[in-house]
């Protein structure tokens, strides 16, 4: 009901940072049709503190019909709190209090916190971030599902995909439990001296899945001076930049490749009489075939260069596949952390920079 109401607006601004931003961004980018204009347009704020970004965002939305989904358990996380304040300053000049009640949706704690209190006082619709779900694990909660539903995607299929991943991860036979096998392989490579894992794919729609994955594993494992350093690449683009290092640089990394088995669309390369570009040997082949052979050739080259590769297969680009992939990595991440005796559900180190930043800003109590 709320998602359908928000679809009437020109723009939905999703305000959040970390898991309150990356999961939704990953889903939108993974599922979207390139170059297609959508309504409502989903924009993001509160994921940085760039003055230029905020000024341009406010300028862009000033003559548009705007709704906001603000996401924060506490309501006091600096980046989204500043963004919400600045955006609301504009919206309060444009809309009545009653109108804002239909435009603003808060995804927050169920009973406490500044955002909970504000939304309760102002009469904004609220969705709950479960107490036992941290931000980086929250994409399949209202944090990610609401904006993805507003964008027109079938969130029931996402949850069905996640349910399938849960069932597959419940198999006690390790040879059939791909999620746990992935966790164990990462652990074994780490024990053998590999210190960096690079997640790579040959589809550009994986860009923000990569970014979400880096937060998931980086925040979950990187504690007590342990854990793999997490990096990512998009091939074949990054083969023309990082490829040299991967092939012949320090032997301290391994790659995890996500291979999408079925492309959403394809195109055939046609024969030309002149063949000036020397590509007639590819005539009759599809572009996805060439892309797959680039992947296979790179895999062979990197193995020759002593870079171990883990290949994970994703059936297709769909809501169900997105849900499956998110849950697959979440449970693999938890198991990976437990294998190195780390709690995967806290992030104490994140508070260090905040303490120094608040001191420099003169925040009371710091």
β-pairing, 125-128 with 196-201? unpaired
Dihedral angle of Cα 92, 94, 96, 98, to the nearest 10 degrees: -90
Q: What is the DSSP letter of 348?
A: T
Out of 240, 250, 265, 351, pick the active-site residue: 240
**CB-count exposure of residue 236 (10 Å: 0-12, 13-18, 19+):** middle
Q: What is the 3-state secondary structure (H, E, C) of 150-200?
A: HCCCCHHHHHHHHHHHHHHHCCCCHHHCHHHHHHHHHHHHHHCCCCEEEEE
For residue 335, how far is the Cα from the chain centroid?
Answer: 20
Active site residue 354: yes
Strand partners, 67: 12
Out of 92, 252, 293, 354, pick the active-site residue: 354
Interatomic CA distance for residues 269 and 240, integer angstroms: 23
183 CB contacts (<8 Å, ≥6 apart)? 332, 333, 335, 336, 339
Contact between 196 and 186 (Cβ < 8 Å): no
Active site residue 219: yes
Angle at 74 between CA 72 and CA 76, to 5 degrees: 90
Contact between 324 and 161 (Cβ < 8 Å): yes
Q: What is the spatial order of strands in the sheet that 104-108 belongs to?
A: 41-45, 11-15, 66-71, 104-108, 125-128
Query: What are the CA-CA distances from residue 271 to residues 267, 268, 278, 285, 293 (Å)?
Result: 13, 10, 10, 10, 19
Enter the tokens of residue 43. 């924009």
Active site residue 319: no
**Residues with catalytic annotation?**
219, 240, 354
């Amino acid at each position: 009901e709320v998602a359908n109401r928000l679809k009437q607006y020109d723009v939905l601004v999703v305000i959040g940072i970390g898991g309150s931003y990356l999961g939704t961004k990953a889903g939108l980018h993974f599922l979207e049709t390139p170059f297609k204009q959508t309504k409502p347009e989903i924009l993001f704020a509160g994921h940085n503190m760039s003055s230029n970004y905020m000024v341009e965002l406010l300028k862009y939305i000033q003559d548009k019909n705007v709704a906001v989904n603000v996401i924060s358990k506490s309501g006091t996380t600096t980046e989204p709190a500043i963004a919400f304040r600045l955006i609301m300053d504009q919206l309060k000049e444009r809309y009545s209090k009653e109108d804002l009640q239909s435009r603003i949706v808060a995804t927050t704690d169920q009973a406490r916190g500044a955002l909970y209190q504000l939304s309760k006082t102002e009469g904004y619709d609220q969705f709950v971030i479960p107490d036992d779900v941290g931000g980086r694990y929250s994409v399949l909660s209202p944090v990610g599902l609401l904006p993805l539903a507003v964008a027109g995607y079938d969130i029931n299929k996402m949850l069905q995909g996640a349910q399938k991943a849960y069932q597959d991860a419940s198999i006690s036979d390790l040879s059939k439990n791909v999620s746990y096998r992935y966790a164990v392989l990462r652990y074994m490579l780490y024990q053998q001296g590999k210190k960096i894992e690079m997640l790579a794919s040959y589809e550009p729609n994986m860009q923000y899945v990569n970014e979400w994955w880096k937060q998931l594993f980086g925040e979950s494992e990187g504690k007590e001076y342990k854990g793999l350093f997490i990096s990512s690449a998009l091939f074949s683009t990054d083969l023309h930049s990082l490829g040299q290092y991967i092939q012949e640089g320090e032997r301290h990394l391994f790659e995890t490749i996500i291979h999408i088995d079925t492309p959403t669309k394809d195109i055939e390369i046609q024969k030309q009489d002149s063949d000036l570009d020397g590509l007639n040997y590819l005539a009759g082949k599809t572009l996805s075939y060439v892309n797959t052979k680039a992947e296979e050739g790179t895999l062979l080259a990197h193995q020759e260069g002593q870079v171990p590769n883990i290949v994970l297969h994703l059936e297709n680009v769909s809501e169900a596949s997105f849900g499956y992939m998110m849950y697959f990595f979440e449970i693999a991440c938890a198991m990976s952390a437990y294998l190195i005796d780390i709690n995967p559900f806290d992030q104490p180190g994140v508070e260090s920079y905040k303490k120094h930043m608040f001191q420099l800003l003169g925040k009371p109590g710091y």
